[in-house]
């Protein structure tokens, strides 16, 4: 009995101790929890300005291309021009493309989101916090930074977010995201800032904010808030091996966003500074081989002939350590630093050559379009892309003829930008040469403007295009 009692007594004592420890643990947990931030006020304040974005794309009908004699060209030519065959989509059918998030930055209806949310869409639909839906116009987009600026019309003043300052963001601070993951609208998730100035392979011109905020499909384009309810970034990407969130998410800093917004409003696209160099990181072995005390800077592996760096006498093997008074600790910082400089402006560039530091002035050039086979150069006379076709063209010269391998007798205009409108829907690409529009030859920008201004609505319009040396006709319609 005594033994049994003893055991019972011992167990009882342990139970009592366990209760005390549990109570202590709960007390500590309560104390710890009381120090965590409360996001309810942030959500109530900011969520009315967050929107849900959905897109639709029409399945393209087969569009005919004819040869010189009026005969329809073979299937391979249609495929080359990116025009679908009859079984590749039924005409007029709109199919959902993507879902994402965005936020209102002005009471008259300007909205920011990611480019990948709306890229290729024929229709963009914005759903507001009151559940009303409005069609949106794509004002401008920038693929490099994954930004898109939309505009909706409203008969009332719309709620707007507060724009913060990403320059003051620090690792470890609390942040929150509001968006529509998997179309679960107005979901809030929280986390901390993990790191700053992250450079990703696909977006070397963006100094990303890395966080551990849970971001999933549908969050794209939504805002990242600080604890004051201010937007400090746009949620853009995640790192994943499974297709879902793994604790690594990346946001575009709001300072970079607002720098781009002014250009998107003004001209529909973003221009960036350009040095004309290929660079790589300096690791320990390279640092040692170049006589550096530690890894630093951006190692120049190639200099583009005739580019800004070439004119400033930079050579392969130079290590750029400072640009425009900003230290270049690794190669990822250089494109970001150069990109925000206005083309034509001069900047100080410091580099190491043969163990000695040198300082030069460099006149920053304009970064060629990433998809362009015929980049702009000084002297071009491009026409604005704010026309019904949504294309930007330049007159052919020896530079373009050489790049596109055109014969001297070819006359026309080279497409150097395709932003939106009929030009995108019919498959025009940068590097295409337009020789005739609506049965009229176009060889100058002024001729192009005049012809475009008189294009009829709601009937077929023909365009003769040369791509890769192959001429052909395509047709399209402009809607009222």
C-alpha span between 180 and 410 (Å, rounded): 51
Beta strands in 304-385 (DSSP E): 319-323, 326-327, 346-353, 356-363, 365-366
Catalytic (active site) residue 256 = no
Asked if residue 270 lies in contact with residue 145, where contact means CB atoms within 8 angstroms, the answer is: yes
d(CA 267, CA 451): 21
Q: Which of 142, 146, 318, 436 is the catalytic position? A: 146
Q: What three-state secondary structure class fits 51?
A: strand
Active site residue 236: no
Residue with tokens 């309560």: 30
Q: Around Cβ 77, how many Cβ atoms within 10 Å?
A: 15
Active site residue 266: no
Among the listed residues 101, 199, 220, 331, the single catalytic one is 220
**Which residue shows structure tokens 């700053």?**
196
Separation between Cα atoms, residue 352 and residue 321, nearest integer Å: 7
Specify whether the CB–CB gap between 259 and 149 falls below 8 A: no
Q: Which residues are annotated as a binding site for substrate?
A: 116, 146, 218-220
Binding-site residues, please? 116, 146, 218-220
Q: Which two tokens stand for residue 123?
A: 């229709």
Distances (CA, A) of 63 to 85, 91, 439, 463, 474: 8, 10, 17, 12, 7
Q: Which of 47, 101, 116, 380 is catalytic?
A: 116
- Which residues are known to be catalytic? 116, 146, 220
């Amino acid at each position: 009995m005594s033994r049994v009692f003893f055991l019972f007594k011992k167990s009882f004592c342990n139970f009592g101790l366990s209760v005390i420890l549990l109570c202590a643990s709960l007390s500590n947990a309560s104390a710890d929890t009381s120090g965590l931030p409360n996001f309810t006020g942030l959500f109530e304040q900011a969520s009315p300005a967050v929107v849900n974005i959905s897109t639709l794309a029409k399945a393209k009908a087969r569009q005919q291309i004819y040869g010189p004699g009026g005969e329809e060209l073979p299937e391979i030519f249609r495929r080359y021009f990116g025009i679908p065959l009859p079984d590749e989509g039924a005409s007029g059918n709109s199919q959902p493309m993507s879902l994402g998030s965005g936020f209102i930055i002005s009471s008259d209806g300007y909205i920011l989101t990611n480019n990948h949310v709306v890229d290729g869409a024929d229709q963009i639909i914005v759903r507001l916090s009151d559940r009303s839906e409005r069609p949106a116009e794509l004002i401008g987009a920038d693929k490099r930074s994954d930004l898109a600026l939309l505009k909706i019309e409203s008969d009332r003043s719309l709620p707007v977010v507060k724009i913060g300052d990403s320059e003051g963001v620090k690792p470890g601070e609390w942040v929150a995201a509001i968006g529509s993951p998997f179309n679960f609208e107005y979901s809030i998730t929280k986390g901390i800032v993990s790191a700053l100035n992250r450079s990703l392979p696909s977006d070397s011109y963006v100094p990303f904010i890395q966080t551990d905020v849970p971001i999933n499909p549908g969050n794209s384009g939504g805002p990242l808030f600080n604890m004051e309810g201010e937007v400090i970034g746009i949620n853009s990407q995640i790192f994943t091996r499974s297709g879902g969130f793994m604790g690594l998410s990346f946001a575009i800093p709001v300072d970079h966003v607002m720098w781009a917004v002014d250009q998107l409003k003004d001209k529909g696209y973003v221009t960036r500074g350009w040095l004309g160099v290929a660079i790589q990181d300096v690791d320990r072995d390279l640092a040692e081989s170049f006589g550096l005390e530690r890894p630093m800077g951006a190692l120049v592996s190639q200099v583009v002939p005739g580019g800004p760096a070439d004119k400033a006498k930079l050579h392969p093997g130079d290590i750029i350590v400072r640009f425009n008074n900003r230290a270049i600790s690794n190669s990822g910082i250089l494109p970001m630093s150069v990109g925000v400089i206005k083309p034509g402006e001069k900047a100080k560039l410091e580099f190491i050559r043969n163990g000695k530091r040198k300082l030069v002035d460099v006149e920053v050039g304009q970064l060629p379009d990433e998809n362009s086979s015929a980049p702009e150069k000084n002297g071009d006379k491009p026409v604005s892309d704010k026309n019904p076709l949504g294309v930007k063209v330049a007159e052919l010269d020896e530079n373009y003829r050489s790049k596109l391998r055109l014969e001297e007798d070819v006359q026309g205009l080279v497409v150097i930008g395709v932003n939106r409108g009929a030009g995108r829907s019919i498959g025009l690409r940068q590097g295409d040469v337009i020789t005739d529009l609506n049965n009229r030859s176009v060889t100058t920008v002024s001729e192009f403007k005049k012809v475009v201004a008189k294009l009829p609505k709601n009937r077929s319009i023909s365009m003769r295009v040369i791509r890769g040396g192959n001429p052909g006709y395509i047709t399209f319609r402009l809607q009222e």
